[in-house]
């Protein structure tokens, strides 16, 4: 097999009647399916060899990656792209080394494929096993963050899936170089290059075709901001795993120990404000002794407070806040901002959370057992935390190995998704002539 760059026109199968984008993306997806079949049978040693090969080649070709990335960043700057977006788009030698190291790390993790979920011998002698197998063809639609290209390709490969990538067009040059490196590495490792393909050359229309490719795409993972995810979820007819949005709440109970409350709030808000498991709203139980110290510590750490009228009254001397409105309760700041409200009861806190949560993570700080148990039972979010930082809703922290994303939906995967969540299961039933009565 020779290396075929997916930007070449020859991808179109000879004699295809429709030369439109749909036919071309479908042809790519069919090649993914063929590659997926080989990948599903590749044992862990083959897949890990390929992951290490990609890591090695990414390090070796740092200069080419940086050159392509510099072109994307320059174009972005010319287009007036925001500093935050340019930062996510930019690669540095240190970032590239870290991405390669993450692939090496992935190679060290157990293979989710082949693990037996359940099994038994039935009364009639049938041997039954439910075994984890790859999904098949995974598609990913994401924003202009070239790290996602390596990340998703690695996770898909490790879990035995072929992947179709649609990255943000602002990262097109970087992604093209990365995909070429990945495909060359796959071939060097004896696996089909078509296990990783890009549809970037088809632009927005390519993404639309992926979203509707029922039967060709087994699962679609959008990664990015709210509008990207909502657009995918609304338009896709293939199964989607919704990830990411986190309007995270902490409820500060009357019984919360002061020092613990200060430590947890500071960590949950300031340790990495731009990620989805950072706290966005603090709900203070009326009269909670920890309130003053918590607000003072947050303000001292540079957190901008957005307070409701009752929270305004709790502000310590020298601490100011903006007036909060409904826009604040529903907002994922992803920055050093925090909405603060005072509630009379745990019920009021639960009601506020039910109204505004995105179902990602909520935490309670308390020393009251009954309140902790009610919070655990009644919060309907992917993660419910008692007396710890919300930053723990993370695949790595929870021991899941590598993280595909944080699912905020209820089907298939909820919360941090590890490699296992990129697999499905197959029932294997073995007999010696059993029939049904």
Any contact of residue 244 with a second copy (CB under 8 A)? Answer: no
Residues 6 or more apart in contact with residue 123 via CB below 8 angstroms: none
Nearer to a second copy, 1 or 126 (CB): 126
Query: What separation in angstroms does the CA of 242 have from each of 357, 405, 420?
Result: 15, 9, 16
Nearest residue (CB) to a second copy, 282 versus 315: 282
Instruction: Rule CB under 8 A: choose which of 91, 241, 311, 324 binds a second copy.
Output: 241
**How far is the CA of 81 from the CAs of 94, 201, 226, in angstroms?**
23, 21, 18
> Which of 16, 37, 287, 344 touches a second copy (CB under 8 A)?
37
What DSSP element (H or E) covers 134?
Answer: strand 127-134
98 close to 117: Cβ distance less than 8 angstroms: no
What is the rounded distance in angstroms from the CA atom of residue 350 to the CA atom of residue 400? 29
Q: If binding is defined by CB under 8 A, does position 167 make contact with a second copy?
A: no
Quote the crossing angle between the two packed helices 62-78 and 172-188, to the nearest 10°.
160
Nearest distance in Å: CB 361, a second copy: 9
Of 429, 1, 25, nearest to 197 by C-alpha is 25
Question: Environment class of residue 343 by beta-carbon count within 10 Å: exposed (0-12), middle (13-18) or buried (19+)?
Answer: buried
Residue 263 CB, shortest distance to a second copy, in Å, is 5
Q: Does 237 contact a second copy by CB under 8 A?
A: yes
What residues between 294 and 333 interact with a second copy by CB under 8 A? none
Please name which of 116, 110, 230, 176 lies closest in space to residue 222, comparing C-alpha atoms: 230
Which of 333, 331, 308 minimizes the C-alpha distance to 321? 308
Residue 267 interacts with a second copy (CB under 8 A): yes or no? yes
Neighbours of 13 (CB within 10 A): 12
Task: Kindly report the three-state secondary structure assignment for every residue of 338-363.
Answer: EEEEEECCHHHHHHHHHHHCCCCEEE
Complex with a second copy: residue 14 or 377, whichever CB lies closer = 377
By CB under 8 A, the residues from 363 to 422 that bind a second copy are 372, 376-378, 380-389, 391-393, 397-399, 409-412, 414-416
Which of 72/194 has CB closer to a second copy?
194
Q: Which stretch binds a second copy (CB under 8 A): 81-89, 103-111, 147-155, 427-435?
A: 427-435
Single out the residue of 205, 228, 257, 330 in contact with a second copy (rule: CB under 8 A): 257
Q: Does 271 bind a second copy (CB under 8 A)?
A: yes
The CA distance from 172 to 169, in Å, is 5
Residue 77 or 410 with smaller CB distance to a second copy: 410
**Shortest separation between residue 77's beta carbon and a second copy, angstroms:** 33
Q: Which is nearer to a second copy, 204 or 410 (by Cβ)?
A: 410
What's the min distance (Å) between Cβ of 337 and a second copy? 20
Return the residues of window 113-152 that contact a second copy according to CB under 8 A.
120, 122, 126, 128, 130, 133, 135-136
How big is the site for a second copy, counted in residues (CB under 8 A)? Answer: 68
CA 218-221-223 angle, to 5 degrees, is: 170
What are the residues facing 223 on neighbouring strands?
142
Per CB under 8 A, residues contacting a second copy are: 37, 40-41, 120, 122, 126, 128, 130, 133, 135-136, 214, 218-219, 233-234, 237, 239, 241, 257, 259-260, 263-264, 266-268, 271, 372, 376-378, 380-389, 391-393, 397-399, 409-412, 414-416, 424-436
């Amino acid at each position: 097999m020779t290396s075929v760059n997916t930007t070449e026109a020859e991808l179109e199968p000879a004699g295809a009647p429709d030369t439109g984008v749909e036919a071309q993306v479908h042809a790519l997806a069919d090649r993914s399916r063929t590659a997926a079949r080989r990948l599903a049978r590749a044992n862990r040693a083959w897949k890990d060899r390929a992951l290490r090969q990609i890591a090695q080649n990414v390090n070796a070709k740092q200069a080419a990656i940086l050159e392509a990335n510099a072109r994307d960043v320059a174009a972005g700057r010319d287009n007036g792209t925001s500093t935050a977006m340019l930062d996510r788009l930019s690669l540095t030698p240190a970032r590239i080394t870290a991405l390669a190291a993450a692939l090496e790390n992935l190679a060290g993790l157990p293979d989710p494929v082949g693990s037996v979920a359940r099994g038994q011998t039935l009364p009639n002698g049938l041997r039954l096993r439910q075994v984890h197998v790859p999904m098949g063809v995974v598609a990913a639609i994401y924003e202009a963050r070239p790290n996602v290209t390596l990340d998703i390709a690695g996770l898909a490969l490790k879990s035995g899936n072929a992947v179709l990538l649609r990255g943000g067009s602002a990262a097109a040059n970087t992604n093209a170089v990365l995909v070429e490196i990945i495909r060359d590495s796959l071939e060097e490792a004896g696996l089909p290059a078509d296990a990783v393909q890009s549809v970037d050359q088809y632009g927005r229309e390519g993404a639309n075709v992926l979203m509707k490719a029922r039967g060709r795409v087994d699962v679609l993972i959008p990664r990015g901001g709210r509008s990207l995810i909502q657009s995918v979820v609304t338009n896709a007819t293939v199964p989607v795993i919704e990830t990411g949005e986190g309007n995270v709440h902490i409820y500060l109970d009357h019984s919360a120990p002061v020092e613990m409350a200060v430590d947890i709030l500071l960590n949950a808000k300031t340790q990495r404000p731009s990620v989805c498991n950072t706290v966005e709203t603090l709900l203070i139980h009326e009269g909670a002794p920890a309130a003053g110290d918590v607000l003072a510590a947050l303000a001292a750490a540079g957190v901008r407070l957005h307070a409701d009228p009752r929270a305004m009254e709790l502000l310590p001397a020298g601490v100011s806040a903006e007036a909060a409105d409904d826009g604040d309760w529903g907002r994922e700041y992803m920055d050093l901002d925090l909405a603060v409200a005072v509630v009379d009861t745990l019920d009021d806190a639960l009601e506020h959370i039910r109204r505004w949560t995105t179902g990602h993570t909520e935490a309670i700080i308390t020393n009251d057992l009954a309140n902790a148990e009610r919070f655990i039972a009644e919060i309907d979010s992917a993660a419910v935390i008692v007396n710890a930082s919300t930053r723990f809703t993370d695949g790595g922290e929870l021991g899941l190995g590598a993280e595909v994303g944080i699912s905020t939906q209820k089907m298939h995967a909820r919360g941090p998704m590890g490699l296992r969540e990129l697999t499905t299961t197959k029932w294997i039933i073995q007999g010696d002539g059993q029939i049904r009565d």
